[in-house]
Amino acid sequence: MITNSRSDNVNTRNLVVDILLAVTRDGAFSHIAIRDVLDKYRYLPKQDRAFITRLSQGTIERMIELDAIINQFSKTKVKKMKPVIAAILRSGVYQLKYMDSVPDSAACNEAVKLTVKRGFGGLKGFVNGVMRTIARNMDQIRYPDAKKEPVRYLSVKYSIPEWLVQRFTEQYGAEACERSLAAYLMPHPTSVQVDTDRSSVEEIIASLEQQGITVRRNEQVERALFLSGYEALDEIEEFENGLLYVQDTASMLAVELAAPKQGDHVIDVCAAPGGKSVYAARMIGEQGHVEARDLTEYKVEMIEENIDRCRLSNMTAKVWDARVFDEAAREKADVVIADLPCSGLGVIGTKTDIKYNASEEKIAELAALQQEILHVVCGYVKPDGTLLYSTCTMTREENEDNVQKFLETHAGFELEQMRQYFPYEGCDGFFMAKMHRR
């Protein structure tokens, strides 16, 4: 049994600074940095683990706004600060502005203690001064003028880089842009698909609620639920035995658009960790088969773990580079799922660091890669078969423009349906296009 002294020696705010440095200084993905810390300190009380998650996620999510606030009240701007001091101030100001359960005095005092603990005792007066000045003047914070500087205003208000605000506004209009930015910051319950072959949705709901988990039906997908109020997924029996699989609503809708039938042969060319393949396997029955492919052994092992956990006998995994044509698969698939590497701008709500790492150059590179892969994998589609192209992003270059380019150069295919989902529609920002081979 864990003694209280073990957890009493852990400074949760110090762990949050570790996470922030891993993301902002070392380039780690935020969800992985948070997961690694929570796994290492699994013995911490539920309240402490929730505090670490909330503070680290919130600070990363609101970083542009937090920097703008700090810069109003600090002579030294955030960009000129030592990374540790910037992390301490950012997390401290997040507590002042967004965590009502933390008294202002505690946020200020703990920031000063952290400064000393991290070896910067000479800067404790600076940190103390900035924190207490912001605490006193929280209602005096100035934001850019929404009419005079609309792009900068939205950037600071929703903590999104200005170039992305400009891009979304130009491509989708001001209303869709702001609604999407607001949706990124909303709470995101966990979306799961249910294995209705082994249990009914009603039985699953009753079991989860008995475990104290908050459950909500998914109005867009019949065999899906939203979960919240749990501590760890791998502690839920229904997840461990494969009755539940984490997957966003839009991802499930994409597979439903492809509409694989009983007995179909499906090839998923960039499948890891395997959510679409699992969903398709549950649609095609034992007479069908899903071949889930990805580039590396590591990714294929992830898929195989999910095949085993979900007890799927009609699904296999294979290492294959989607850019290389597989002659053995020529015209073998009733459905090819091409959910391709993309800029990920639709999932900023759950992977917040994406917005800080994206660039116009990366978008252009990814659009070219997507074209290259589509040109190869369309050869696996049978005559009268389906090619599903999808991404979890919101750029015309990677989505509508890519579909148009593909159709212009592949006369044997025709577009049946195309849809861009936005984050305010109850799912990730997501694009899907169903193409039919004549």
pLDDT given at position 9: 72
Active-site residue, from 177, 310, 342, 392: 392
pLDDT-derived band at 234, boundaries 50, 70, 90: confident
Is residue 427 part of an annotated ligand binding site? no
N-to-C CA span, the chain: 65
Is residue 272 part of an annotated ligand binding site? yes
pLDDT given at position 280: 98
Is residue 242 part of an annotated ligand binding site? no
Of 251, 267, 256, nearest in space to 378 by CA: 267
User: What is the SS3 assignment for 78?
Assistant: helix
* Strands ordered across the beta sheet of 190-194: 214-217, 224-228, 190-194, 244-246
- Residue 137 CB neighbours (<10 A): 12
Strand 315-319 relative to strand 224-228, pairing? unpaired
User: pLDDT by residue (tens digit) across 361-410?
Assistant: 999 999 999 999 999 999 999 999 999 999 999 999 999 999 999 999 99
Is residue 273 part of an annotated ligand binding site? yes
pLDDT-derived band at 6, boundaries 50, 70, 90: low
Of 342, 363, 345, nearest in space to 354 by CA: 345
pLDDT given at position 267: 98
Here the tokens at position 211 are: 């475990």
pTM for the model: 0.93
Flag whether pLDDT at 2 surpasses 50.
Answer: no
Is residue 294 part of an annotated ligand binding site? yes
Is residue 276 part of an annotated ligand binding site? yes
Q: Is 392 a catalytic residue?
A: yes
Is residue 275 part of an annotated ligand binding site? yes
Distances (CA, A) of 89 to 59, 136, 144: 10, 15, 21
User: What is the SS3 assignment for 154?
Assistant: helix
Strand 244-246 relative to strand 190-194, pairing? antiparallel
Is residue 384 part of an annotated ligand binding site? no
Flag whether pLDDT at 129 surpasses 90.
Answer: yes
**Domains delineated in the chain:** 6-140 (1.10.940.10), 150-184 (no CATH), 190-246 (3.30.70.1170), 249-437 (3.40.50.150)
Is residue 36 part of an annotated ligand binding site? no
